[in-house]
């Protein structure tokens, strides 16, 4: 078993039961981050959550870009 840790990443998550019935949420998430020039080297998913680990310096920009893309206000 091997593992490593990184302290230069922050986590941005999209959570909601509606993701089960709305295909394309992951694709839109990744496209939004890419368009903003934000790398997400670590991603984890579940049926109701997408967690993207992005550089700590980009967390605020990632949140803003995703809010705009998903029209969250």
Q: For 5-63, write each residue's pLDDT tens digit.
A: 889 999 999 999 988 898 899 999 999 999 999 999 999 999 999 999 999 999 999 99
Farthest CA pair distance, the chain: 43
Beta strand spans in 1-73 (E):
9-15, 42-46, 49-55
- What's the pLDDT at 4? 85
42 vs 68: CA distance, rounded Å = 22
**pTM more than 0.85:** yes
Compute CA 72 distance to the chain's CA centroid, rounded to the nearest angstrom: 14
Architecture of domain 9-69: 2-Layer Sandwich (3.30)
Contact partners, residue 24, CB within 8 Å, separation at least 6: none
Q: What is the pLDDT of residue 41?
A: 95
């Amino acid at each position: 078993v091997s593992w490593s840790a990184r302290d230069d990443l922050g986590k941005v998550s999209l959570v909601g039961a509606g993701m089960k019935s709305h295909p394309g949420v992951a694709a839109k998430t990744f496209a939004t981050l890419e368009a903003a020039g934000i790398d997400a080297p670590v991603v984890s998913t579940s049926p109701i959550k997408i967690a993207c680990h992005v550089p700590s310096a980009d967390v605020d920009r990632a949140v803003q870009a995703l809010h705009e893309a998903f029209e969250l206000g």
